[in-house]
Structure 1
């Protein structure tokens, strides 16, 4: 299975979908499409811990907010070069996402039809940056924000939808 080394995530208004263009080792970049419905499910699983606590304690909410602000600030300060698709890029729709958590990272395995799959490995900082970018794209797309916890709210709105996340 190929690991995504660097990704660029953009909202495509014509498709009303999110396009993830990713570099993989020793291959042309891949272009995968994510629907709102699938992303809602992924986000619910990723954010489940915080939502399951219901009435979050104010100190927990403040910690999450500060950690999110720090990750977003670091993302905004680091110059990024977008990943560009190539003529030979594989382009496909994501049908499912496998999520694996460990103390060190989160693994998202995006699966399409015909055994198409790529994996995105995110440590805590990269996960927070990825969430900030996705949140910004939700705002741009005018998609419902009910899946998002309050602590992410004002932190990602300034995130540029063209930004890339460096993976290694």
Structure 2
């Protein structure tokens, strides 16, 4: 039995890491055609993206279950869901390690879009008005990436007030700090 083919432009996997020399986050993308691309995310851009992701994560349980009139999940419920998602991360080798190869497709992202569908959340990465890449996320994958972004904010010493208390509470991330999250 063969595995379904991944479309050439679809992302198979990606690695998010804070790069000290750039003072930016780097998303290294591995596509279905084995090509690799890099998206650079600035602190200013991330300060705008994180609150939008948090809003989506807060809204998803209500949209899927109780409707928009249902009360938002408590901090404890959010923390449990976050820890559950982080506990399901499969460790992998990073998409890129060390020096960047010459001729690599690389973009400094200047704009973002966030779209919700029934089964996924899509984040559009743009340079000016041009869409460069779209990443689809399930709820669990979005939570995992949110945890990874928080870890990278801490590595970069980007002390920001964009994080909800269910992520910043003491002990929320015991264990994942020791993991390489991709």
1:155 aligns with 2:162: no
| Map 1:108-123 → 2, pairs under 5 A | 108-113=123-128, 115=130, 117-123=132-138
Contact residue 3 and residue 121 of structure 1 kept, 8 A: no
Q: 2:12 — aligned with what? A: 5
The aligned counterpart of 2:50 is 43
Q: Distance in 2 between matches of 1:89 and 1:130?
A: 24
Q: Distance in 1 between matches of 2:103 and 2:112?
A: 24
Write the distance in 2 (CA, Å) between the matches of 1:46 and 1:91. Answer: 24
Q: 1:5 to 1:94 in 2, by over 3 A?
A: same
5 Å-filtered alignment, 1:86-97, equals 86-97=101-112
> How far 1:159 moved relative to its partner?
3.2
TM-score (norm 2): 0.76
Gaps of at least 5 residues in structure 1 are 52-56
CA shift in 2, pair 1:2/1:97, >3 Å: farther
Cross-structure match for 2:64: none
Change (3 A) 1:104 1:114: closer
Aligned match of 1:30: 37
> CA distance change for structure 1 residues 58 and 108 in 2, over 3 Å: closer, same or farther?
closer
* 1:9-158 correspondence runs (5 A): 9-48=16-55, 50=58, 60-75=74-89, 78-84=90-96, 86-113=101-128, 115=130, 117-153=132-168, 154-156=171-173, 158=176
Retained in 1: the 8 A contact 2:111–2:128? no
Q: Is contact 1:32-1:92 (8 Å) kept? A: yes
SS for the counterpart of 2:136 is strand
Partners of 1:160 and 1:113 lie apart in 2 by 37
Deviation at 1:136, TM superposition (A): 0.2
Greater radius of gyration (CA) = 2
| Paired positions, count | 157
The alpha carbon displacement at 1:91 in A equals 0.9
| Shift in CA distance, 80/148, structure 1 to aligned 2, threshold 3 Å | same
Question: Closer, same or farther in 2 for the Cα pair 1:114/1:38, shift >3 Å?
Answer: closer
Query: d(CA) in 2 for partners of 1:91 and 1:112?
Result: 11
